[in-house]
Amino acid sequence: MITLAPRPSRGNFFARYRPRESNAAPKYAILRDALIAAIEDGHWKSGDQLPNELELTAMTPYSLGTVQRAIQSLVAEGFVTRKQRSGSYVAPTHKRIGGPWLFRFIGDDGHAFLPMYTKVTGRRKVVERGPWFDWLTHGVPGKALLRIDREIRVESDRVAFNRMYLDAEAYPLIATATIRSLDGANIVHLIQDAYRLPVSKIAHMARAGALPEFACKALDLRRGTVGMIVEIAASAGGSRPVSYQQLFLPPTKVRIYISESSGDWHSGPGVDAPGADR
C-alpha cells in the first residue's frame, strides 16, 4: 500500500494533483483532471464546497474561461453539482457518473448540465428479435444479449427510462457486477476503462410516438403515452459494436443534450422499440 505524504493546504492543490504528462492536453482538461484527482484522493470530500471560479483562477495559471469550462465538465460528468447562488459542491460518491455520457439534460439557463442519476431496475440475458440483434451479434443466430433496464432521474425527478443491450460474453464485468454497483454508473465508460476499448463512433436516431408498454409501466404513465424514443449505437473503431440503447422520454420540460458524434447511423439498428407494440 502506498502512503501519501501529508496533504498540502487547499491553495496548493494544483501543484500536487496536476497531471504529469499534460503538455498536449487542452488547458481546461488539465485542470479538470487535477480537480478529479483531488476529489478522488479526498482533498475535497463528498459535500464539500469547491473554491469559487475566481478563487480557482487565483490558485491556478488559468483564465476564468478555462476554469468555467473545467467546472462545467465536472458537472457534466457528475463529479460536481451546482447550487444556484451558492456554488459548486463535490457530489456524493454514488452519484458520480464519470466519463463521457451519450446524453445529458440541460437546465433552464441553457448551459449547465443538470445532476443525473441512473438506477438499474433489471438485468437479464435475452434472445429477442430486433434490428439491433444482427448488429450486436454479427448475425450469430440464437445468441443471447445482456439487457439492462434503468430509470433516469434528473435532480429528484424520474424523467426517462433506458434500455441497453450489449454482448455479455464480450463484457463479463458488466454481466457479473452487482446491480447496486451499476447504479449511477456510466456503463459505456466502464467498458472503455476495463477493456481498453475507446468508443470512437456514436450514432443517434430519434422519433416521436407512443412509448412501448414496458416503458409506460416503468414510468407510471398511461398506456399509449406519446413521447420521444432516442436510439444510441456506440462502436469502437467505427466497426466493433459496443452497445445499443434506447431512451424513452415522456413529455418533459427539461431539454436533452445528445453528445456530438461524427459517425453516421449504422445500417443495422432501426427505429422500432424492442418489445414495443407495432
Looking at every residue in the chain, the average pLDDT score rounds to 79
The confidence score (pLDDT) of residue 76 equals: 67
Q: Tell me the per-residue pLDDT of 201-239, one tens digit each, with 9 for 90 and over.
A: 788 889 999 999 999 999 999 999 999 999 988 888 657
The confidence score (pLDDT) of residue 64 equals: 94
More confident: 122 or 16? 122
Place of cell 451499476: 182
| Among the four given CATH numbers 1.10.10.10, 1.20.272.10, 3.40.1410.10, 3.40.50.300, the one describing domain 116-258 | 3.40.1410.10
Asked if pLDDT for residue 268 goes beyond 60, the answer is: no
Q: Using alpha carbons, select from 182, 193, 201, 206 the residue that is nearest to residue 271.
A: 206
Place of cell 454479427: 138
Give the pLDDT mean for 100-129.
Answer: 77
The confidence score (pLDDT) of residue 5 equals: 35
Q: Using alpha carbons, select from 17, 19, 61, 66 the residue that is nearest to residue 43.
A: 17
Cα 121 from chain centre: 17
Amino acid in position 148 = I
The confidence score (pLDDT) of residue 93 equals: 62
Listed in sequence order, the residues at least 6 apart from 134 whose beta carbon sits closer than 8 Å to its beta carbon are 268
Asked if pLDDT for residue 154 goes beyond 90, the answer is: no
pLDDT-based confidence at residue 69 (cuts at 50, 70, 90): confident
Could you write out the three-class secondary structure of 102-151?
CEEEECCCCCCECCEEEEEEEEEEECCCCHHHHHHHCCCCCCCEEEEEEE
Strand (E) or helix (H) holding 73: helix 64-76
| Among the four given CATH numbers 1.10.3720.10, 2.40.50.140, 1.10.10.10, 3.40.50.300, the one describing domain 10-96 | 1.10.10.10
User: What's the Cα-to-Cα distance from 167 to each of 13, 34, 234, 271, rounded to whole Å?
Assistant: 41, 34, 13, 20
More confident: 277 or 196? 196
Grid coordinates given for 47: 459535500
pLDDT-based confidence at residue 4 (cuts at 50, 70, 90): very low
pLDDT-based confidence at residue 276 (cuts at 50, 70, 90): very low
More confident: 151 or 21? 151
The confidence score (pLDDT) of residue 265 equals: 39
Prediction pTM value:
0.63
Domain boundaries, the chain: 10-96, 116-258
The confidence score (pLDDT) of residue 50 equals: 93
- Exposed/middle/buried for residue 57 (C-beta within 10 Å: 0-12, 13-18, 19+): middle
Give the pLDDT mean for 107-128.
Answer: 80
The confidence score (pLDDT) of residue 60 equals: 92
User: What's the Cα-to-Cα distance from 110 to each of 85, 114, 158, 257, rounded to whole Å?
Assistant: 17, 10, 20, 10
pLDDT-based confidence at residue 263 (cuts at 50, 70, 90): very low
Q: Using alpha carbons, select from 130, 177, 165 the residue that is nearest to residue 276.
A: 130
Tell me the C-alpha distance between 136 and 145, whole Å.
Answer: 8
Q: How many CB atoms lie within 10 A of CB 80?
A: 24
Amino acid in position 198 = P
Cα four-point dihedral sign 152, 190, 202, 73: positive
Tell me the C-alpha distance between 166 and 122, whole Å.
Answer: 14
Give the pLDDT mean for 50-70.
Answer: 92
The confidence score (pLDDT) of residue 21 equals: 56
Give the pLDDT mean for 50-76.
Answer: 89
The confidence score (pLDDT) of residue 18 equals: 82
User: What would you measure as the largest C-alpha separation in the chain, in angstroms?
Assistant: 63
Grid coordinates given for 39: 476529489
pLDDT-based confidence at residue 278 (cuts at 50, 70, 90): very low
Helices (H) and strands (E) in the chain, counts: 9, 10
